[in-house]
Structure 1
Amino acid sequence: MSQKEYFAHYNGCRQLLAEHLNNVAMAMQSAVPPSLHFPALSHETVREIGFWMGYLHDLGKYTDFFQDYLLKKISSPHKQHAHISSFYLHGRLLHVLPGPDGDRRRCAAAFLAYVAVRRHHLPLSLSGLFPDYEEEPFRGLLKALWEHLEIKKGEVLEDSGLIERLTPEFFKQIGDPDTRWRDKRNFLFMPQHLAQRLKDVQWYFFLLYIFSLLIDKDKLDSAGVETREISFIPHHLVPAYLSKKRLGNARLRSIREEARLSMLGRISALHDNEIRKIRFMTITAPTGLGKTLAALECALLLRERIERAEKYTPRIISAIPYINIIEQTRQVYEQVLAGGTKQAGRLVIHHSLADISRNDGDKNEEVPLEQILLEVESWEGDVILTTFVQLFHSLLTGNNRMLKKVHKLAGSIVILDEVQSLPDRYQPLIGAILRKMGEFYGTRFILMTATQPKILEFGDLLLQENGRGGGEPLELLQDHKRYFSQNRRTKLISLLKEKLDTETFAFLIAGCRKPGQSVLVVVNTIRRSVELFRALKERFKKEPDNPKILYLSTNIMPMRRKQVIEEARVLLRQKNPVIMVSTQTIEAGVDLDFDLGFRDLAPLESLIQAAGRVNREGEKGEYLPVYVVSVKDDAQRVYAFHHINRTRAMLEKKEEILENEYGRLVEEYYDQVFRDGVSEESRHIWEEGVMKLNFEVLQDFKLIDNTGEVVDVFVEVPTSVDPASLASRLADAYEEALADRECWDWKKFDGLIDESIPGETKERPDFFQRKAILRVLRSKINDYVIQVRKYHAAKNNPVDFCARGGVKSNLLWIPPGQLEDYYDSETGFKDKSGRAFMF
């Protein structure tokens, strides 16, 4: 036995290197689901690759240079460990992987595993791997590390346990850097070969998978977080929840129940062999039919069928387009999972504004906050609730942190809610991504919407240009057209012949509305929404029925948005008249029910989504009007010109379109979109980024436009508005955590952070604890944060947050004493640019 102890980590959690290597190797090997398969690599081959990646990824930490750095803080260029470790892995895999010597697919797989280990502390990229391989300092450093490990190889082999798997001579051979430099065809020039002669989409998905698997298992083990088995969750929890809640009127409950049973019957009728083969299911249903709960129950039932057919338990990942509607879905999921004798499974909530949220119902278990943070970011749960941004930006990036969760998608069931909200320009790209995830990862998808776009057909169109194709998805609600034809709740009325300004639009609303009616008005820009809100307040202030005028957009703080929605919900239930002026933020998932609607011109799916907030439960009569108008040129500021023209042409064919015609209209709309072919944005990212493994090209993918042009503005609500002074207390604590002084003032954190933070001991938090504290505080501060385009902030520029207490942050700040200069209590940030801007 070796007398010297070698450590993988020494700060915080001290861990022996041999233990870490073995843990990661076993975790990676066991995590590969049976559904995973690549044309060039079987499931068992990927398991073998995973094992050796885990065992060798930190082998370079056996050098005295690294151990001196870890234990004695002696730094030198020789302390680096990833590159030399990747050499040993590459050499080992060339002997382990099946196939003859010189097999290019075998060499490609070994090389990509080398890349994953070499870059496992960095962004994933194949660019610039060997810019100076001929220069002596670069080659000399790696040669010196190999020679050092060669001298002490007996000790390394014995301590690591590799002595049972590798001979000393073989160990010397596989780590020799000179072997790599001589192999130009299968090593030095492999990045170019993968982008040209060996170009194949499977390599992108293989690299993403093994990189994600490695960095996730490495980080979890380093933090002492154990991977848990996925829990069984019975699908009958959904009907149990419905029976308690009794949502909607009796007629609507009956229709929902009929549809729910129809969908479940469709899954139950599938043979095990069909369960193994089917990758895509769709739920095409009108708004108000209870798709959220139906999809969850279908996923739970499908999960049970997969357990029986394939002998593994998938996790369920539910992705939603908008952050502003995720909270109500979270509440529904939590209540469903809490319906058993105890909490059924772990629900993880993950999006950019989320608190660290992992609910498994075990109140007696004290879990450190930093561990929960890792589990949330790694999607260590049975049911994951996240956003489209988190999902798709994780699949089209080289970002290390974002990629950490990608491997959890393999073998999972993914629910995509409101898929029509994906930008048209990216539908071919995302459709192709979904197709290949289904093929390679064995991921199942449930796509649900009232306006089913041709996203998979678009994906096939892009793939067919590369000789690919795809099968038809299984529609779970087989007679969905009947449900659409039965609906008589609303109708679209086109008033597009005349362009309106704010005053004429307000006049039109007043003329169409009858006393006592509640009205929803949706416009395209914040500027217009503010002007219209003020015009309607003035026009209706003397009306006998005294309607409440409410305003909703992302220009107001999230906490205020929640208040407005709840206020509207209460007033509507009490039959008190409400006029709500909103931007697109209300169109998906906001469960409000108005008598009358107005929508500024937008793509067809947006019009139908807005109509879904009128006569939602069908109790107000038949065919309530939703007027489609054209307010100046606002639509063209927000939407692509050809989408607007396409919608306009369809609306102008008839004076009114009844709800039972919406389904046919949507099919016609997407047929026209499909005929336009694959967008240049999708083709460029797919062909130049995905196919050629060029992760720099993937930076062009932006699901939300101009995210780089947005600034976060923290509104410190004064005590006159917020008696609890929560905003100020959060800001004080946030500054304290950002400053990270030697001694923290823990009184500032009272009641704001989890008790597992070491406040009682007055210790200074370690790196992971501080990161967790900042995450919790920032998630709570986000209730007071508005996102403003830089241009508009520049015209009325808030103060830099560091002016508050000298602590740097990426926030801008509206001081409590200057609230009126920057922020209106009803309409939010005061834009002085004179230009309209998007929600």
Structure 2
Amino acid sequence: FTSMAFALKLRSKIYSKKGYMPRIIYSLPFLSIIEQNAEQFELVLNEVGFNVDTDLLLKHHHLSEIYYKMEENEFEPDEAKILIEGWNSEIIVTTFVQLFHTLLSNKNKNLRKFHRLSGSIIILDEVQSIPFKYWLLVKEILKELVEKFDSYVIFVTATEPLIFERQEVKSLANREKYFSALDRVVIKPKLEKTMMVEELAESVKLESDKSYLFILNTIKSAKSFYELLKVKTEHIGFLSTHVIPKERLNRINKMKRGKIKIAVTTQLVEAGVDIDFDEVYRDLAPLDSINQAAGRCNRNGESQGKVIVVSLKDDRRRYSSYIYDDVLLDITEKILKKHECIKEEDFLNIIDNYYKDMQEKMASDKSRELLSAVYKMKYDSADEAICINDFKLIDNSYPKIDVFIEIDDDAKKVWQDYLRIKEIKNLFERRLEFSRIKVDFYKHTVAIPTTVENLPPEVAGFRYVNINSLEEFYDSETGFKCEGVTPIW
């Protein structure tokens, strides 16, 4: 809430000095945390007496509900879609993808909101999630936005990645003061050897009065570890993107309430998911990811939490190597191996050294090529030269396909609605009708590798697992059963 409170104060100051009221664009890296942030903003606004309609607070991402209400007027879906995509609201909660693909696009759908960036206050939460290869590009684009469009940019991050040099930004908090006062958690690297998942499960000693979070790098390793651990304990839960979103949210809420004392997950819990465990085990990852994992440990400072970093492997290689850049892993490992125990007060200095090493050892070629395309206004390319349309904030190099899981009666009803909509001949009307059920439809959808041997049948243009064949394709605890391929994430 601190960043939003500051943005609201800045908004009032801009109004008194410049005579206009800037909109606030609150941007986050992941869909999973948009809903929880928007809900909290709505609670606060209601508490202070605002009538929260969509003209005041708007959520916008590719799965947004097509709903727009202003005072007593509820707009039809086609009108609502235009208002939502045009960011017709005072406060917009959206994704990095929506924001940066508006700044770097020539598509009408994206450009519909471009003018809303002028004079706005843009909050970039969890800004360290932006891949290093785009740091230079993001820096130059944001500088232009601030200088030419009179916009304001607020970074929210515990680790302050060096997208901008320290002297180029104004710090709103004394980070040294805050970090030196913290003593909630310690990081304990256990990297003397690389171990199999079975070895970790064997070595872990679970105490009944503590809660544990295990964050693994791939879906395969997380599933294997979960199966090994669940024979040792009750109150255990599993999370990955192969579990339908509806059930993922249910499990996260159980974790928040303490109903799940032991959780095995992939990286999806690292940024912004408000869960708290006494001890966190993290498979080796870049240092900023480990720092994010530490944020799920002893958040309330009730005792001293521990984050234990291990290095896991399969029969071929380390799981970390399937996911992360080798240079980042090498930098991280060299830093961690210098310490037996890292106190929270030392995190800041260590993470600063990590970012400096990263800048020295990693190239910014991708950013430079894209910036060259921007300066030339080269949106498309007839050859293999880099163009603006090559900008993809989310890496799609791991090909996936969506599958609808008919897991219960609610899902069955949604699927029947989908089949009815597919029969509509008019394309515009069909899209409009689907927009009404889109949110519920994707609550029951998972993305799986396109190369799985057990790809479900295609029905009405969508891969579909019906309720009668659930056991063949879907496990109620660990999600979709991938055969013939190693699921990464």
Structures share a fold, TM > 0.5?
yes
Matches within 5 A, 1:341-490: 341-343=49-51, 346-358=56-68, 362=71, 364-457=72-165, 472-477=168-173, 479-490=174-185
In 1, Cα distance between the equivalents of 2:363 and 2:485?
37
Q: CA deviation at 1:675?
A: 2.1
Please give the per-residue CA displacement for 1:104-130, whole angstroms capped at 9, x wherever unaligned. xxxxxxxxxxxxxxxxxxxxxxxxxxx
In 1, Cα distance between the equivalents of 2:14 and 2:446?
43
Match of 1:653 in 2: 338
1:493 aligned to 2:176?
no
- The letter for the 1-side match of 2:272 is G
SS in 1 for 2:297: coil
Match of 2:284 in 1: 601
1:715 aligned to 2:405?
yes
Please give the per-residue CA displacement for 1:777-802, whole angstroms capped at 9, x wherever unaligned. 1221000000112123xx21111122
Matches within 5 A, 1:642-681: 642-676=327-361, 678-681=363-366
Contact 1:397/1:698 (CA < 8 Å) preserved in 2? yes
Match of 2:435 in 1: 775
1:801 aligned to 2:459?
yes
1:784 aligned to 2:444?
yes
SS in 2 for 1:329: helix
Structure with max Cα Rg:
1
Q: CA deviation at 1:703?
A: 1.3
CA pair 446-359 structure 1, distance change in 2 beyond 3 A: farther
CA pair 356-824 structure 1, distance change in 2 beyond 3 A: same
1:553 aligned to 2:240?
yes
In 2, Cα distance between the equivalents of 1:357 and 1:826?
33
Q: Which has the higher strand share?
A: 2
- The letter for the 1-side match of 2:406 is E
SS in 1 for 2:168: coil
Contact 1:348/1:357 (CA < 8 Å) preserved in 2? no
Matches within 5 A, 1:30-429: 293-343=1-51, 346-358=56-68, 362=71, 364-429=72-137
CA pair 359-602 structure 1, distance change in 2 beyond 3 A: farther
In 2, Cα distance between the equivalents of 1:516 and 1:682?
49
CA pair 337-359 structure 1, distance change in 2 beyond 3 A: farther
- The letter for the 1-side match of 2:237 is L
Comparing 641-650 with 426-435, which one deviates more in the overlay? 426-435
Contact 1:420/1:605 (CA < 8 Å) preserved in 2? yes
Match of 2:390 in 1: 700
In 2, Cα distance between the equivalents of 1:652 and 1:701?
36
Match of 2:299 in 1: 616
In 1, Cα distance between the equivalents of 2:38 and 2:131?
25
CA pair 676-691 structure 1, distance change in 2 beyond 3 A: farther
Higher RCO (CA 8 Å, separation ≥ 6 residues): 2
Q: CA deviation at 1:475?
A: 1.0
CA pair 677-628 structure 1, distance change in 2 beyond 3 A: closer
In 2, Cα distance between the equivalents of 1:395 and 1:366?
30
Identity between Structure 1 and Structure 2 (%)? 34
Match of 2:383 in 1: none
In 2, Cα distance between the equivalents of 1:564 and 1:398?
40
- The letter for the 2-side match of 1:349 is K
Contact 1:316/1:414 (CA < 8 Å) preserved in 2? yes
Match of 2:367 in 1: 682
Q: CA deviation at 1:569?
A: 1.8
Contact 2:421/2:430 (CA < 8 Å) preserved in 1? yes
Contact 2:68/2:74 (CA < 8 Å) preserved in 1? no
Contact 2:242/2:446 (CA < 8 Å) preserved in 1? yes
In 2, Cα distance between the equivalents of 1:359 and 1:444?
28
- The letter for the 1-side match of 2:122 is V
Match of 1:524 in 2: 217
SS in 2 for 1:474: coil
Contact 2:27/2:93 (CA < 8 Å) preserved in 1? yes
In 2, Cα distance between the equivalents of 1:638 and 1:313?
43
In 1, Cα distance between the equivalents of 2:339 and 2:405?
47
Gaps of 5+ in 2: 381-386
In 1, Cα distance between the equivalents of 2:107 and 2:202?
51
Q: TM-score, normalised by structure 2?
A: 0.94
Q: CA deviation at 1:738?
A: 2.7
Contact 1:416/1:448 (CA < 8 Å) preserved in 2? yes
1:628 aligned to 2:309?
yes
Q: Which has the higher helix share?
A: 1
- The letter for the 2-side match of 1:314 is P
1:838 aligned to 2:471?
no
Q: CA deviation at 1:647?
A: 0.5
Match of 2:262 in 1: 579
Contact 2:406/2:467 (CA < 8 Å) preserved in 1? yes
Please give the per-residue CA displacement for 1:282-301, whole angstroms capped at 9, x wherever unaligned. xxxxxxxxxxx111111111
Please give the per-residue CA displacement for 1:224-251, whole angstroms capped at 9, x wherever unaligned. xxxxxxxxxxxxxxxxxxxxxxxxxxxx
SS in 2 for 1:527: helix
- The letter for the 1-side match of 2:344 is E
Match of 1:727 in 2: 411
Count of matched residue pairs:
477
- The letter for the 1-side match of 2:208 is P
CA pair 296-383 structure 1, distance change in 2 beyond 3 A: same
Gaps of 5+ in 1: 1-292, 459-470, 542-546, 743-765, 803-808
Q: CA deviation at 1:708?
A: 7.6
1:812 aligned to 2:463?
yes
SS in 1 for 2:122: strand
Please give the per-residue CA displacement for 1:633-675, whole angstroms capped at 9, x wherever unaligned. 1111101000000011110011110111111111111111222
Contact 2:67/2:75 (CA < 8 Å) preserved in 1? no
In 2, Cα distance between the equivalents of 1:440 and 1:383?
22
CA pair 673-434 structure 1, distance change in 2 beyond 3 A: same
Q: Residue 592 of structure 1 is aligned with which of 275, 278, 286?
A: 275
CA pair 357-454 structure 1, distance change in 2 beyond 3 A: farther
